[in-house]
Amino acid sequence: MNPPKPTSRFIFLTLTLLLFLILFISLIPSGATTVDNDEDDLEGIEELIALDEEVEGEEGPQHTKPSEAEVLSKAQRIVIELNIDNTHTVIDQNEFVLVLGYAPWCVRSAELMPQFAEAATALRDLKSGVVMAKIDAERHPKAAANLGIKGFPTLLLFANGSSHAYSGGFTSKEIVIWARKKTGEPVVRIISVTDADEFLKQHSIFVVGLFHKFEGSEYEEFVKAATSDNEIQFVETSSIDVANVLFPNIKPSKFSVGLVKSEPERYTAFEGTFKAENLLQFLNHNKFPLVTTVTDLNSVRVYSSPIKLQVYVFAGVDDFKNLLEPLQNVARKFKSEIMFLHVDIREENLAKPFLTLFGLEESEDTVVAAFDNKVSSKYLLESDPTPTKIQEFSMGLLQGTLMPFYKSQPIPDNKEASIQTIVGKTFDDLILSSPKNILLEVHTPWCINCETTSKQVEKLARHFKGLDSMKCARIDASANEHPKLQVSFLQTS
């Protein structure tokens, strides 16, 4: 084979360099800076969005529906990627900027980023003025620190340069609702039946207000509540026809307000004194489904609920499906008084912390437990979790007749032991009711100093072996509880 001529080599080298250049440009993140002019970042993202829209227009109705991956990819391009060079410009040149601080290795960040990208697309379609941006806090620690990002993921809203902590939910719809509420759009006005039908397709939970005139003290309280609430979309209308689409048979009075949810208990009318705080309290007690499945995304809202009586069903997904309908029937009887929750027993991060409180962290069978968060008491249904038993258990929780649950290991055989092993079930008889003087050692398996203490107690036990009025005993406080056994675990260095 003849060696290539110099002209051929030149052409080959040029094509190779051009290919690498194209590849390099394609790998640059959307919104990343390639020159020192910050304005190029904003212009570039605007051109990209415009190009997307132009392509969509050319494709027309014949275009096939894009895949979920394509939709997500496009949504992520709408989000500006912040860095040390462009952060200051993006924050200062926009009235509202919602920033997601993340780390590539953070699992919660990975879960939130697709939701954030979808929210960016929705806000753009709604003609919202909120700019959506993200920053890799590991790659750009100084820029992230200047924004006030300390953990992952962190969401911050910058309004005219001032930072505000995010306090909404973590699905794309919840992000959109929160962003609109905090940037001057707390209430959506619907004026036609067509718009109402379209709204119903997009929202599974919302508050509807019917007002003949958008003025007066009641309307002001409605807007005040809408602004204060962080999770639920509020809508308003002056048309009884529109109101009936959203909330059938709504009362055609001077004003009416109701909560709509996509579940059996779909429509709940507000009937209290019309004050913002009363409306917010009504929502806090009625916004959750009859039975709520706890997830990483909603766990904070669930645990902060003002409903202090809570019944938990720890069950696998298939077992819970069979139990859901009868459990909803039980929950309906205790609506607004007891919160019913399902936790997938296989989700270690969600289930195990609770099951450990009952010594059931290894359980694979359905477990029903309850908590009274007013008095920090816990309860366990120790019979088969049938709907009837769960209803009786819930009634006892509501009436305060359940016996609190205290963990206990099995009762041991202490016949030949020089030091008696005490468990939760024997604490009353062997400690509180004992006529003898008892030296009780309280320990845990993870206690650093307990091993040294245990050796000293064993020496004392041998020393007082012949003294019938004196006994030594020990109890594992990590596996046994008793209302009279109050233990404070001290940190040692």
Q: Which of 196, 447, 457, 477 is catalytic?
A: 447
Q: Which residues of the chain have pLDDT under 50?
A: 1-63, 71-72, 491-493
170-222: per-residue pLDDT in tens? 889 999 999 999 998 899 999 999 999 999 998 989 999 999 999 999 999 99
186-286 CATH:
3.40.30.10
Q: Which of 49, 106, 223, 276 is catalytic?
A: 106
DSSP per-residue letters across 29-73: PTT--SSS-THHHHHHHHHHHHHHHHHHHHHGGGSPPPPHHHHHH
User: Rounded to whole angstroms, how far apart are CA atoms 454 and 444?
Assistant: 11
406-493 CATH:
3.40.30.10
28-56+67-180 CATH:
3.40.30.10
Q: What pLDDT was estimated at residue 218? A: 94
* Residue 329 contacts residue 395 (beta carbons within 8 Å): no
Active site residue 447: yes
What residue spans define the domains of the chain? 28-56+67-180, 186-286, 291-399, 406-493
Check if 28-56+67-180 and 291-399 are the same fold.
yes
Q: Which residues contact 31 (CB under 8 A, 6 or more apart)?
A: 41, 44, 45, 79, 80, 81, 82, 86, 133
User: Rounded to whole angstroms, how far apart are CA atoms 369 and 402?
Assistant: 11
Pairing of strands 255-261, 80-82: unpaired
User: Rounded to whole angstroms, how far apart are CA atoms 97 and 141?
Assistant: 19
The fold of 291-399 is Glutaredoxin (3.40.30)
90-100: per-residue pLDDT in tens? 999 999 999 99
Active site residue 106: yes
Q: Which of 100, 338, 345, 450 is catalytic?
A: 450
Q: What pLDDT was estimated at residue 263? A: 79
Q: What pLDDT was estimated at residue 66? A: 55
